[in-house]
Each structure stands twice: as C-alpha cells, then as structure tokens.
C-alpha cells in the first residue's frame, strides 16, 4: 500500500502545482493572453509554422521531451536510494524543470518562435548567441548519434516491439494527409491507429509478424542507425502536419494509455498482490530497495551526480530546444503555453515517479534469476543492482523498468509476453519521437548558424545551408559520421559501427544540464529587461550552473578522471565546455546590472500586439 500512496501523493502534488504555481507563472509573470498573435499564425508557412490545437501540440511536446531520459535516469539513480530520487523528481520538476520548459516556450513565442540560442543574441549579446548555438549543435549531434543506438538496442532486446513501431509511421502519414484535406479532428483516426498498434503488439510474436520482428532484430546496429537517421531526414523536412503531428499525437495516446495501465496495475498489485507465482501465491507489493544508500559499489558521489543522472524526469536542457524549436511554432493560442510547457513537464515527472516505483517495488513481484529460479522482494532488486557498473548499462536500466512495469501489467492478468511487448513499444516510441524531433531542431540550429556565418564575406557560401534540405543533410551526416566511429580502442567493423556516440556520451549528462542553466540565464534576461520579477528563477539558474560544472570537473580530474586515463577527446571537449560556461556566466554577470528595464533592440514581442492573426487552417 505504501507504493500506491506514494504514486497518489505525487500525482495530486503535480496537479496542485499546475493549478497554483503554474497558474501564477502564467498570469502574473508571463501574463499570457489569448489576444496575443502567436508566431504560428503570424508566420504561417504550412511547413514549420502551423497553428495547431493544444492537445496535438501537447502530444508532440510531451513525447519529444520525454525520450528515454525519464526511464534510464531514475532507473540507475535509485542506486543512491529511492528517497533522494523521489524528492529530486517531485521538487525539481515543479520548481525548476517545469519553470524552465514553460519559460523557454513563452520567450520563444514572444520572439517569432526562434530557438533559445538565437534569442540569447538579442537579450544578451551576439557572442553569447554564437556560443549558445554551437553548444546546441554539439548536444543535438550527440543526441542524434546515440538515440539511433538506443532504439536499435531496444529493438534487439525486445523484438516484439519492432513491427508496432514501424507500422505506426505509414499510418501516421495517412492520418496526417487525410486530416489536412478534410479538416476533421485528429482524435478518432488516431484512436483507430492506436487500436491497430495494440493488435500488432498482442499478435506480434506469432506468424508473419513474429518472423518480421525476428528478421529485423537480427540487423546490425549500423543498419538500424542508418535507417533511423534516414527516416529522421524525411521527418525533418516534411511539413509538421504530414508526419510529426499525427505520429506524436498517436504516440502520446499510446504512452498515456500505457501509463494508465501501469497505474491501474500498480493499484491492483497494492490491494491484491502481483501475478500468481509458480506456487499460486500472489506476492505482496513492497519497496525492496533501500531508502538511502550513500556509497553504492562503484558509484560516484550522490552530490552532484544525482542531479546529472536524473535529467528529463526533473529538468533537462534538451527541453528548451523542443520548447523554443518546434512547439513554439505550432502553438495557436498563447494561453495554451501553460498546458503544453508546464503540464508536459509534470506529466513526464509522473512517468519518472512510476519508473522509480517499478524499479524499487515492481521488480520485487518476481523476476527470473540467473539459474532460472524466481526471485522476489529484495533478492530480486539486488540481483539487478549489485553494483553501479552492473546497473549502468542501457540494457540493465531499460530491463529493470520493463520487468518492473511488466509485473504491474501482469497483476491485471495480461500475459507476460504481451506485457513485455507493451513496455518495449513504450520505451522505443519515446526514443523514436525524440530522434525525429532532435533532427528537426538540429536543422533549425544549422539554419541559424548559416545565417550568422554567411554574413561574413569569406563565409558567404555557407548561405546554402539556410535551405532546409541542405541543413538537414548536415544534421544527419554529422550524426552518422559520429555514429560510424568505432568505440575507443576498437577497429572499425560492421559489428561495432554505429556505437560512436558512446564516445561522447559521458559528456552528455553534464552538458545537457548545463544547457538548462544557460537557458535559465536567457529567460531571466528577458524578464529582467522588462522589469518583471526574476527571484523565482535565479536560484534554479545558479543551481543548474553549479551542479553540471561540479560534475564535469569531477569527471575530468577525480579518481582518476578523463585526464588520468588519457582520454583526450573527452578532456578537450570537457575543458571547452567549462570554458564556454565560465565565459557566458561572466558575460551575464557584467551585463545584468545594466540590463534592468532596458528593452533589447528590435524587441520582437511587440509584433504580437500589432500584427493581426491569419486564420488557422
């Protein structure tokens, strides 16, 4: 019962925060107004700027920001105990993460839907703008290189998830084209596609579907990476209504329905126990992990690494790119921003809570041990979390959640194979939506960089990359080149090609969270110049600048650190990242006293009050 009480308290807390703190931010700080003309209406082009209902934008935003972050982060961070992980997710998401996402979305809405990097050049200075865009480019390149590997690994681990995820793409395109021509609601066609997906999950391991799944599961990582990046190219250049919107909306329904099943299964397990074991007894649902464990075997110290390991479930810098990249170009009513920005983050935080509960309690309902026996309770948990190294691999982290959440579904009477397939599709769908959104975001960053650099006479030929096809080619080819590099110390072969993103992956946690701190800086400057309160954002900003810097310095120089191991790729990029952060902080500190009440030159938010809206299509 304790597990259910935690889930209920967290859920009620998030709903309360949305209707109190989130409402205060929207009405008193950002002063959202339905009369404001959004970029999607003013700049409507039918490709990127498309006025869209808030439920569809919510679906896109939620599925894009979530990815596998709220799964793999909490699944490993519980090594330090479930209480620290739980507290960071709840309070971090309410007071830091949701404020960050909401703020980035609103600031972008007031600046023609531009990315936070582009806006930094206006509210701070041009040097910061260029530096920020280069940070975004590096971070998105790593995301694109690694998420192809993540999806491929999930497909290999759970072959029954392959066909349901693949069939969704042509069905989403058909739905998008149909709705664009007929102008009807997206809900009913999406529910029909969702029903087809679930049928392929249920029957995915038999007959022709089972053969297709097993054949594709045998593909190499490199084949999957190439296919997924090629798909990302197509998804990035198509109009958002063709694939991105219907696919993400369908995915949001699938993901929310899966969350609902997990919650119901958790409740059933709390009252009646898990699925009967071999002796016919239903095991009781209890927390099998320690509340706090300061020094897990092989783990780094809890401070600052808890706040780097759990990213998306509490706060993630990647979210500012989604808020200011794709979502802000689709919002048709400014008042929808709270539901999309603040609400999506809290929904993701609730997912992270369920991941924590699945790993610390769901596993205890019964898993197979190495010798084939059934382990329950603390024995089951310890078998997956014997050490940081054992729990840290992608397969172990995803597997802990899939098995734990699968046990909740099995408590409802859902067959084990179907429960595992549902959770496999759940994880792969999250990762896939992040992949194609990241490719579109990288295209925006390349276009913005090309616009800046081509203004220099010697670099004028770079203007070609303002074209969306050329910019997307750069996004895909750089990610593919990084993915093609063999792991450190290995020769290039088809067997290990596609894993190159792992070389820079150790950097991503700290860099991602650093991006959140820098995004906070841009939001605070926007408010400060308009004489609006910034006290609520300063502490989160400072916290999210200090924690990543601390973690990066520890990774570089402590026990023995990248410097001690001679991994000079990580050392070089790590030092450059630190230098960039310090440089931007100095720029901000020097400018802050002079910026109070001084509106930036050519402030774009005034346009929304003077230019009439175009009617949404």
Output the pLDDT for position 529: 94
Helices and strands counted in the chain (H then E): 27, 2
**496 or 66, which is more confident:** 66
Q: Which 3-state string (H, E, C) describes 142-153?
A: HHHHHHHHHHHH
Q: Tell me the pLDDT tens digit for each residue of 516-557.
A: 999 999 999 999 999 999 999 999 999 999 999 999 999 999
The 8 Å CB, 24+ separation contacts for 573-576 are 573/138, 573/504, 573/507, 574/507
Mean pLDDT of 161-183: 87
Do 332 and 52 contact (CB within 8 A), yes or no? yes
Residue 610 pLDDT > 50, yes or no? Answer: no
CA angle 136, 69, 345 (to 5 degrees): 85
Query: What percent of the chain is predicted at pLDDT more than 70?
Result: 97
* CATH 3.30.70.1350, domain 2-609, yes or no: no
Rounded to 10 degrees, the C-alpha dihedral 85/90/95/101 comes to 90
Q: Tell me the pLDDT tens digit for each residue of 321-376.
A: 999 999 999 999 999 999 999 999 999 999 999 999 999 999 999 998 877 788 99
Output the pLDDT for position 611: 45
Q: What is the DSSP string of 226-247?
A: HHHHHHHHHHHHS-TTTTHHHH
Do 395 and 156 contact (CB within 8 A), yes or no? no
Is the peptide bond preceding residue 291 cis, with omega within 30 degrees of 0? no
pTM, rounded to two decimals: 0.92
Dist CA 26 CA 45 (whole Å): 28
Q: Tell me the pLDDT tens digit for each residue of 352-367.
A: 999 999 999 999 999 9
- Give residue 392's pLDDT band: very low, low, confident or very high (50, 70, 90): low
Mean pLDDT of 156-163: 88
Q: Tell me the pLDDT tens digit for each residue of 28-64.
A: 999 999 999 999 999 999 999 999 999 999 999 999 9
DSSP SS3 for 584: helix
Q: Tell me the pLDDT tens digit for each residue of 93-135.
A: 999 999 999 999 999 999 999 989 889 888 988 888 887 888 8
Do 521 and 584 contact (CB within 8 A), yes or no? yes
Tell me phi and psi for residue 331, to 5 degrees: -65, 125
Output the pLDDT for position 617: 33
Do 408 and 394 contact (CB within 8 A), yes or no? no
- Give residue 393's pLDDT band: very low, low, confident or very high (50, 70, 90): low
């Amino acid at each position: 019962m304790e597990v259910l009480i935690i889930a209920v308290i967290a859920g009620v807390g998030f709903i309360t925060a949305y209707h109190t703190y989130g409402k205060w931010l929207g009405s008193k700080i950002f002063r959202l107004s339905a009369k404001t003309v959004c970029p999607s209406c003013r700049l409507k082009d039918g490709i990127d700027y498309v006025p869209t209902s808030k439920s569809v934008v919510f679906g896109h935003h939620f599925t894009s920001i979530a990815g596998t972050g709220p799964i793999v982060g909490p699944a490993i961070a519980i090594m330090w105990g479930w209480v620290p992980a739980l507290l960071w997710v709840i309070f971090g998401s309410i007071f830091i993460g949701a404020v960050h996402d909401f703020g980035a979305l609103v600031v972008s809405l007031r600046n023609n839907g531009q990315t936070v990097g582009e806006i930094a050049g206006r509210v701070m200075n041009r040097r910061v703008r260029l530096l920020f865009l280069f940070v975004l480019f590096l971070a998105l390149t790593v995301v694109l290189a690694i998420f192809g590997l993540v999806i491929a690994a999930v497909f290999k681990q759970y072959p029954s998830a392959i066909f349901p995820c693949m069939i969704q793409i042509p069905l989403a395109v058909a739905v998008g084209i149909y709705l664009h021509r007929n102008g009807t609601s997206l809900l009913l066609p999406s529910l029909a596609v969702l029903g087809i997906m679930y049928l392929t999950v249920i029957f995915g391991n038999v007959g022709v579907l089972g053969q297709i799944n097993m054949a594709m599961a045998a593909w190499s990582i490199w084949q999957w990476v190439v296919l997924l990046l090629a798909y990302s190219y197509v998804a990035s250049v198509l109009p958002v209504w063709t694939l991105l919107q219907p696919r993400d909306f369908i995915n949001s329904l699938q993901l929310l329905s899966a969350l609902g099943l997990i919650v119901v299964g958790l409740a059933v397990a709390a009252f009646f126990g898990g699925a009967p074991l071999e002796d016919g007894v239903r095991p009781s649902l209890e927390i099998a992990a320690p509340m706090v464990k300061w020094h897990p075997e092989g783990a780094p110290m809890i401070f600052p690494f808890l706040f780097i390991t759990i990213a998306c479930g509490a706060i993630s810098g990647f979210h500012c790119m989604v808020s200011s990249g794709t979502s802000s170009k689709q919002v048709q009513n400014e008042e929808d921003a709270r539901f999309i920005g603040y609400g999506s983050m809290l929904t993701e935080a609730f997912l992270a809570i369920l991941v924590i509960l699945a790993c610390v309690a769901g596993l205890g309902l019964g898993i197979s041990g190495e010798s084939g026996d059934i382990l329950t309770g603390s024995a089951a948990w310890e078998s997956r979390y014997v050490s940081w190294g054992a729990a840290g691999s992608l397969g172990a982290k995803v597997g802990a959640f899939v098995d734990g959440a699968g046990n909740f579904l099995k408590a409802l009477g859902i067959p084990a194979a179907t429960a595992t397939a549902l959770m496999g599709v759940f994880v792969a769908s999250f990762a896939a939506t992040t992949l194609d959104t990241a490719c579109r975001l990288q295209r925006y960053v390349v276009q913005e960089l090309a616009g800046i650099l081509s203004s220099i006479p010697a670099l004028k030929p770079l203007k070609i990359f303002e074209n969306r096809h050329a910019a997307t080619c750069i996004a895909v080819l750089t990610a593919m080149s990084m993915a093609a590099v063999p792991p450190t110390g290995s020769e290039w072969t088809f067997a290990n090609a596609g894993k190159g993103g792992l070389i820079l992956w150790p950097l991503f946690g700290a860099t991602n969270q650093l991006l959140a701190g820098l995004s906070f800086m841009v939001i605070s400057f926007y408010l400060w110049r308009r004489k609006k309160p910034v006290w609520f954002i300063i502490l989160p900003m400072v916290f999210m600048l200090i924690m990543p810097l601390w973690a990066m310095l520890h990774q570089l120089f402590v026990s023995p650190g990248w410097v001690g191991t001679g991994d000079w790729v990580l050392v070089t990029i790590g030092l450059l990242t630190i230098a960039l952060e310090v440089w931007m902080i100095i720029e901000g500190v020097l400018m802050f006293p002079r910026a109070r009440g001084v509106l930036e030159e050519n402030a774009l938010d005034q346009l929304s009050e003077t230019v009439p809206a175009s009617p949404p299509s």
